[in-house]
Amino acid sequence: MAIDQNAIKEHIRGILIALGDDPDREGIKDTPERVARMYAEVFEGMNYTNDEIAEMFSKNFDIPSGNDKDMVVVKDIEIFSYCEHHLALMYDMKVSVAYIPKGKVIGLSKIARIADMVAKRLQLQERIGTDIAEVIRKATGSDDVAVYIEGNHSCMTARGIKKTAAKTMTTTFLGRFEEEEALQNKLLLMVK
């Protein structure tokens, strides 16, 4: 699905009118174009399925056999996303991703790129974790994947309840991470 920038421009112009502003006013006459370009960038992930993201970032490297007890962890990957309920920015989100390699690993930067691409959709924090875990599973071939996310949401901090210190933590555990409490605890000690 391609993002329709022309439709976005038209609708943003309509929103400006609905807000009671003049869309031809000097300060905002280019706003529809700017917003359309911004949306194409920040919602890039909506152009791809999880399978397509896994394919994009699945270049992997073989590792010696017997390393199936080692854990790969990338901590504090900063991402931004937009809440699907309010189109509000979810910000100050930090993602930690772990997996137990099954004969191969992917480049560490690929893990951050996967987190970024998944976040570039209208999302819920809970789904971001599930989507990242699914993509990592497909890209690495490992069923043992965990994702921990801690984030602030402007739909809670800047409007509504206005609780600026509120943080939301979510976890997604697959495979051994779901089954073995000791493995969960080990990971959570590492990422908190």
Q: What would the mean pLDDT of 31-49 be, rounded to a whole number?
A: 97
Which pairs count as long-range contacts for 24-31, CB under 8 Å and 24+ apart, including other chains? none
11 part of the active site: no
Q: Count helices and strands (H / E) in the chain.
A: 8, 7
Judge contact between 90 and 125, C-beta under 8 A: yes
Q: Which listed residue (153, 178, 179, 184) is catalytic? A: 153
Q: Would you state the structure tokens that stand for residue 162, as one six-digit string?
A: 């206005």
pTM: 0.94
155 part of the active site: yes
pLDDT recorded at residue 82: 94
83 part of the active site: yes
85 part of the active site: yes
Tell whether the model's pLDDT for residue 63 goes beyond 90: no
Judge contact between 97 and 146, C-beta under 8 A: yes
Tell whether the model's pLDDT for residue 1 goes beyond 80: no
